[in-house]
Amino acid sequence: MIGDVHGQGDDALMRLALEEAQAAAEAGDIPVGAVAVLAGAVVGRQHNRKEDLADPTAHAELLVLREVASRLGRWRLPDVTLYCTMEPCSMCAGAMVQARIGRLVYAVDDPRAGAAGSVFNIVESPALNHQVQVTRGVLAGEAQAQLAEFFAELRQRRREKGLAVALPSGNL
């Protein structure tokens, strides 16, 4: 067990996921974090590492499922709750169904790729053999602000880079 958080509510656990997301942003990855909780204890915490690992599947949610399964020595995780700063994509939502995750709590919707109700609803699909209990919108404003800040800084860096490239030719 990484730490005992017994008695803390969804907000407190989502804050840990937001901390993970911030670590992703600082490493140059889109800020998405995921925390896994079992019986009141944090049993996994990960952030998006796509750029870091050059791995298209290195989403926070997938990494945390692997961490927890490895730690517990089992792939069925019906007693685990996942706290994610963003609605999971189809890959991660599929993995949550594969892992028989009991509950998913997420912050902000992803209208472009979300697979917990926005574009698809894989986690609650009656067509599949497992449905996940979903709680949406926990600290959504904070997660949204974190994403907005990341993309604003990214745009700023690109603008600065563009200017640096443009200057020499302007001086010729």
Residues annotated as part of the active site: 61
How far is it, in rounded angstroms, from Cα 4 to Cα 141? 26
Q: Please state the closest distance from residue 172 (CB atom) to Zn ion, in A.
A: 46
Q: Please state the closest distance from residue 169 (CB atom) to Zn ion, in A.
A: 41
Which helix (H) or strand (E) segment holds residue 141: the answer is: helix 140-171
Smaller CB separation from Zn ion, 46 or 81? 46
How far is it, in rounded angstroms, from Cα 124 to Cα 107? 17
The token pair at 23 is 């670590």
Q: What is the dihedral of CA 60, 56, 112, 160, to 10 degrees?
A: 90
Q: Where are the alpha helices (DSSP H) in 3-53?
A: 10-26, 50-53
The count of residues interacting with Zn ion (CB under 5 A) is 4
User: Binding to Zn ion (CB under 5 A): which residues in 53-92?
Assistant: 59, 89, 91-92
Smaller CB separation from Zn ion, 72 or 91? 91
User: Binding to Zn ion (CB under 5 A): which residues in 132-151?
Assistant: none
H helices then E strands: how many in the chain?
Answer: 5, 6
Angle between helices 140-171 and 10-26 (to 10 degrees): 10
How far is it, in rounded angstroms, from Cα 81 to Cα 1? 14
User: Is 42 among the residues that bind Zn ion (CB under 5 A)?
Assistant: no
Smaller CB separation from Zn ion, 98 or 167? 98
User: Is 95 among the residues that bind Zn ion (CB under 5 A)?
Assistant: no
Smaller CB separation from Zn ion, 110 or 139? 110
Q: Please state the closest distance from residue 18 (CB atom) to Zn ion, in A.
A: 17
Residues that bind Zn ion (CB under 5 A): 59, 89, 91-92
